[in-house]
Amino acid sequence: MNEAGACDKCLARTWLLARLAGHLDRHRDRIDALLELDAPELIAALAGRQRPTVERELESFDPPQARRRATDAGLELICRCHSSYPRTLAQLSSAPAVLHVAGSLDRFLALAGRSPVAIVGARRASPYGLDVAWTLARRLAVAGVPVLSGMAVGIDSAAHRGALHSDAPTIAVLGGPAERPYPARARALHRRIQTCGAVVSELAPGTATRRWMFPARNRLIAALSALTVVVEARPGSGALITAGYARELSRPVGAVPGLVTSPLAAGPHELIRSGARLIDGPEAALDALFGVGAAFEPPARPRLAPELEALLDALAEGQPPTAALARAGLDVDVGLAALASLELAGRVRHEPGGRYSVLP
């Protein structure tokens, strides 16, 4: 194969995953071992009395039709037989037969080769966790490090949005097919990620989403990433599964400390106790990747007008907007425009309740 695409054998293996998806769901406690099997072994292990039917259907599988469906869904394909297939994924014993990419395959391959950092964590995250994920992703993106996550609600989505806030690309690895946002309410985020980054899945378009696909997705997040950072996770969460895969691959794992009284801090604190890097900011993540002080130079920021500097200082002290505007000597109309300019410049963020937080 000289061009990106997928060979017939790899396409057939991907079709088989969809065909046996229900059977795989009943055995998701051993999903890793099952995904390592080749097609005949997978059929023998799962199909049971349907084995002859599945074998006949596999023999009649139509690769050109599968390629047309992918094209119609707006997806580009690359299989593990191709020389450009990400080498980090190829290290998995259960490397996906085909990657389906929404957005740009070339862009995905370029980002995957630039030591992405995975930021993962709880779906029901705290405001603290969401803020940390957003800020960490934004600063890493500004430093030129691609941010990767799973587009789930909570920490994952906050990480994607943090990178996008810096107009930087981000990679989303989905548990369902790449053309369909999951959860469905994340359509806008799904579109934004495709515009400047990539959405990736090992599943063929139209595949129904099953529970086994999410732990299977986690192995891809870990394999694609040079560092996995966990921000808030309860014991047994998917984020900890991702960290486990990263350790099996001898990839560094980091964790963000939290409140000792919060159940959401239990997962990161356990990781830190077992040797994970303590991540208390983007510099710590970059140190874990490249060595202390090797990669991070704070981006130069243009000087602000004196009244904007005064406004920023007042907000940093926790003053409400009205008091901060008064301290900076700005009336309401001019002050609202000033707040908007600070927000667009990435210096402050508008919070619920009308308050503003100052960004690092």
Q: What's the rounded mean pLDDT across residues 197-204?
A: 98
What pLDDT is stored for residue 344 in this prediction? 64
The amino acid sitting at 309 is E
For the chain, the structural domain boundaries read 73-290, 306-358
Give whole-number Cα distances, 294 to 262, 283, 291, in Å.
Answer: 34, 10, 5
What pLDDT is stored for residue 339 in this prediction? 82
Closest by Cα among 8, 104, 17, 4 to 65: 8
Q: What's the rounded mean pLDDT across residues 230-234?
A: 97
Closest by Cα among 212, 167, 6, 202 to 95: 202
What is the rounded CA–CA span in Å between residue 342 and residue 334? 12
Cα-only R_g, the chain: 23
What is the rounded CA–CA span in Å between residue 298 and residue 81? 40
Q: In this model, does residue 299 exceed pLDDT 90?
A: no
Q: In this model, does residue 296 exceed pLDDT 60?
A: no
Q: 302 pLDDT band (50/70/90 cuts)?
A: low
Question: Which among 43-57, 307-321, 345-359 has the top mean pLDDT?
Answer: 43-57
Kindly give the interhelix angle for 8-19 and 39-46, rounded to the nearest 10 degrees. 10
Contact 112, 231 (CB under 8 A): no
Q: What's the rounded mean pLDDT across residues 181-195?
A: 94
Q: In this model, does residue 308 exceed pLDDT 80?
A: yes
Q: 307 pLDDT band (50/70/90 cuts)?
A: confident
For the beta carbon of residue 62, count every other beta carbon within 10 angstroms.
13
The amino acid sitting at 93 is S
What pLDDT is stored for residue 341 in this prediction? 74
Q: What's the rounded mean pLDDT across residues 253-261?
A: 95
Q: What is the mean pLDDT of the chain?
A: 91
Domain 306-358 has CATH 3.30.450: no
Query: Which of the residue ranges 204-208, 322-326, 338-342 would you say has the lowest mean pLDDT?
Result: 338-342
Q: In this model, does residue 321 exceed pLDDT 70?
A: yes
Q: What's the rounded mean pLDDT across residues 64-79?
A: 97
The amino acid sitting at 132 is V
Q: 238 pLDDT band (50/70/90 cuts)?
A: very high
Q: What's the rounded mean pLDDT across residues 267-295?
A: 89
What pLDDT is stored for residue 2 in this prediction? 37
The pTM (predicted TM-score) of the whole model is 0.83
Environment class of 16 (CB within 10 Å of its CB; exposed 0-12, middle 13-18, buried 19+): buried
What is the rounded CA–CA span in Å between residue 145 and residue 297? 12
Enter the CATH code of domain 73-290.
3.40.50.450
> DSSP per residue over 78-104, as a string?
EETTSTTS-HHHHTSTT--SEEEEES-
What pLDDT is stored for residue 347 in this prediction? 76
Q: In this model, does residue 332 exceed pLDDT 80?
A: no
What pLDDT is stored for residue 360 in this prediction? 62
What pLDDT is stored for residue 313 in this prediction? 84
Share of the chain above pLDDT 90, in %: 76
Model confidence pLDDT, tens digit, residues 95-124: 999 999 999 999 999 999 999 999 999 999
Model confidence pLDDT, tens digit, residues 5-53: 899 999 999 999 999 999 999 999 999 999 999 999 999 999 999 999 9
Q: In this model, does residue 125 exceed pLDDT 60?
A: yes
Q: What's the rounded mean pLDDT across residues 160-170?
A: 94
Q: In this model, does residue 1 exceed pLDDT 60?
A: no
Q: In this model, does residue 223 exceed pLDDT 70?
A: yes
Q: In this model, does residue 298 exceed pLDDT 60?
A: no
